[in-house]
Amino acid sequence: MGCLPRKRRKKQTNDRTNAFCGVRVQNREPTALVLHTMGYLWQNGGLCMAGDYIITGGRPLNGTVRVPAAKNSVLPLLAASLLCSGPVRLCGVPELADVAESLALLRSAGCTAERQGADVRVDGVPGSGTLAAGPAGRMRASILFCAPLLARLGRAQTVLPGGCRIGARPIDLHLAGLVQMGACPQLEGERLLLTAPAGLHGADITLRFPSVGATETLLLAAALAQGRTSLRGAAREPEIEDLAAFLNRCGGRVQGAGTGTVRVQGVRRLHGCSFAPLPDRITAATFACACAAAGGRVELAGCAPRLYAPVLENSGTNGVRRCAAGAMLPLLPGSGGCTGRGGCSPGHTRRWPPTRPRCWRRCLLCAEGPGSIEDVIFERRFGCAAGFAALGGRVRVEGRTLYAEPGGTLQGTVLEAPDLRGGAALVIAALAAQGSSRITHTEFIDRGYADFAQKLTALGGQIARETPRGADCPKKRTSKT
């Protein structure tokens, strides 16, 4: 779907301030601006066309998966590297589409950003405050790169961020906090310009919603700001703690990360460091749910079970047995299969982060009893529900709640990945189905899962990846046992 058409209107002489707190918008009615922005984000929600997954279901998963570094930690850390006066090395960074886009953003700012084996090295002082429009428009996390440029150069220019189409994902909390710290944002069409004529200063900020992205933006802005910043209502996710640990390793002064109140004393300079991002709890949860749906015995290595404990708690009450042993966790479906008892609702706490319910919903399709998942954050989180129904699952969506009933038989079919995590959900649902399934738009999955097909294949799944004709990449990559 392309951009929605712009509505013709008479030229106005006055400026308007829209929902982006403090942003001056010239000659745009608020409704037309919203429609135009939605169209732009829709157009920039995906990457290039990738090969389809051809999946043969009905095979249990057995073996060990090593959990990689968390994408949702790596991207803010790459943005934070712009604050550092020395080289930064991030260890064990997975090869993801979003990581490649982030490296392109760093290079567009004038830094050297390259892979060195499994690591990523960033060096150099940013010389340009303008981020490349292509990568910025394709990735939601591109907004995180603005605060460091604003802190270092007093100016940051980008386009409205893209990302998965799971509902409204405004940046007003980011901008409102930056305004309190001395920034002046201006929005003209898809172009966002941030300036700080007098530099950034500390502020007492209260978020009306514990947004992870806004918390990260304001931590990045406060690290080099003059004075002390208090951030109340902050997100508490482990990735926030990881970002604070990195900043402190580089000489920053951040306290309270992981709680609702974070305090940052700005410093004049941050040096570089070598840092290993935390493991990807969402990837771990994905494979845990894959084991629950497809059956078998899977060991998750390299990720402490506490990082994805809510998934384990729900799997335990739904018939999945697990036995923790250090950083390795064997998972076995119970003798009675998944029961589907109860439900879950991700809210404003770290217990059920917004992305993990999508991991769990695929398990409900295989359950022996009814289950439900409610999302209180995004209104279009369950874009994969249509795919579940096409497979034969007895599901329905009412408002922000997905309901699943027992009795459906999953049968392979053609499916379309609606977004990153929804696409992964469909892959695992297809592994639990009978027969063959084709999943299109796998470029969404590539944004957050490195070698997803290969890892599932190593566990015993049967997946082939076809490359579309005319694509500038290998003709066919097949992974099967």
* CA–CA distance, 406 with 369 (Å, rounded to integer): 5
Catalytically active residues are: 164
Quote the tokens at residue 334.
Answer: 């119970």
Pairing of strands 274-275, 112-116: unpaired
Q: Are 282 and 72 in contact (CB under 8 A)?
A: yes
Count of residues in the chain: 481
Q: Are 252 and 77 in contact (CB under 8 A)?
A: no
Residue entry with tokens 């940052």:
264
* CA–CA distance, 161 with 139 (Å, rounded to integer): 6
* CA–CA distance, 439 with 284 (Å, rounded to integer): 22
Cβ-Cβ contacts under 8 Å for 37 (sequence gap 6 or more):
160, 190
The dihedral sign for the CA sequence 101, 103, 104, 109: positive
Quote the tokens at residue 71.
Answer: 């994408």
Q: Are 130 and 157 in contact (CB under 8 A)?
A: yes
Q: Are 439 and 415 in contact (CB under 8 A)?
A: yes
* CA–CA distance, 343 with 73 (Å, rounded to integer): 28
* CA–CA distance, 199 with 158 (Å, rounded to integer): 19
Q: HEC states along 353-408? A: CCCHHHHHHHHHCCCCCCEEEECCCCCCCCCCHHHHHHHCCEEEEECCEEEEECCC
Cβ-Cβ contacts under 8 Å for 292 (sequence gap 6 or more):
315, 318, 320, 331, 333, 338, 363, 366
**240-243 long-range Cβ contacts below 8 angstroms, 24+ apart:** 240/212, 240/215, 240/216, 242/70, 242/73, 242/77, 242/277, 242/278, 243/73, 243/76, 243/77, 243/80, 243/216, 243/219
Quote the tokens at residue 6.
Answer: 């712009």
